[in-house]
Amino acid sequence: MLDSKTAAFYRGESRNAMKNVNLWPKGVVPYILDSSVDDHLRQQIDIGIKEYHKYTCLRFVKRTNEKDYIRVMKPASGCNSMVGAIGGEQILNMGSGCQYVGLVLHEFGHAIGYFHEHNRPDRDDVVDIQWDNIQYGFKDAFYKYTFDEADVQGFKYDLTSIMHYENGAFTNGYCRPTMLVKNDPSYEVTPVYLREFSPQDIQKINKLYSCPTTQLPPTVLPGNGNPDPTQCVCEDKYDKCPEWKTWASATKNMMWMTTNCAKSCRTCGEPDSDCQDVYPVACENWGQVGECDKNPIWMNEHCKETCKQCTGTTEAPTQPPQPPQPTTKPDCAGTTQAPTQHLSSPAPHTKPTGDCKDRVSC
């Protein structure tokens, strides 16, 4: 008979964060990499962890003797994780076809306390689930939590979240999307493996773990805060200037920033030497849903081309780029279907082999 923790893993019990979920104390998450983890997966995990460290106060640390920790394993197939800290050793699987940074962010997102975005109580306001198109036995993956079960933290539904399924997740056939966006059925939700953190993902994690904001510039501005263009020295006076610029609250200190972080703020009007999107695929998707206006500080730094921050930049594309697609039937314009075999592009949520079955954290 399975113990309660193992049984919960196979049932896929989980608590956008679950109410009463167990968080990792002080945001410190001990982990170890199982011997099954190869060099490529190890590299992807390292990159993913650096993203968490860059944008949140969470710290993933190599386990020494901690009682509660994550063991990352590479099984034959499937990627899944428990939600939140469950106590003792907990398994996080990153199987074949799951070795992408986007999926590392996704599975670790479960481990720190988040369920899937499309399971939110208000999801029916944004997407329509196509129940007839879901593989037999996988309708539980589209379960909708109640507000008594889930805490959406006061944030709006986010189609670009790292925790959101793509349109064809668990589809039972070609040209049969399992989710359609209500106000635009042709909207393509980017596959998880191609995604990065959305701006709202970062805000939510920092709110969940009460991340401090003490590293922001001072609110009391020295002098009158106005830069003198004739005596401008284009340099940052503080090492943290690039980091401060990414915080939305930096707008409150704009004049202080332009004086003391001239290089990061491009106060002196020097031409951009590297004017491009940091996240080419995701930036265009975020731009399409208005993030350039909603989160200008973060977006203007990381999605310069999409948000037209470059000199001479042309209009951003009216449609986001299409991710790699397998061959589909010619009469299926506008739909996507994940391949049945993991080739160069993974299909984490469409699998005939049964991996992730009955595990909500896939």
**Per the annotation, where are the binding residues for Zn(2+)?**
106, 110, 116
State the catalytic residue, choosing from 51, 66, 89, 107.
Answer: 107
CA atoms within 13 A on the CB side of 292: 16
- Among candidates 348, 337, 319, which has minimal Cα distance to 184? 319
Q: What is the sign, positive or negative, of the torsion defined by CA atoms of 7, 59, 17, 110? A: negative
Rg (CA), the chain: 22
**Catalytic (active site) residue 107:** yes
**What is the torsion angle, in degrees rounded to the nearest 10, for the CA atoms of residue 136, residue 9, residue 114 and residue 145?**
50
For residue 53, which amino acid is it? H
Residues that constitute the known binding site: 106, 110, 116
d(CA 120, CA 359): 17
**Encoded tokens for 203:** 């805000």
Q: What share of the chain is helix, strand, coil (3-state, %, to 5)?
A: 30, 10, 60
Active site (catalytic) residues? 107
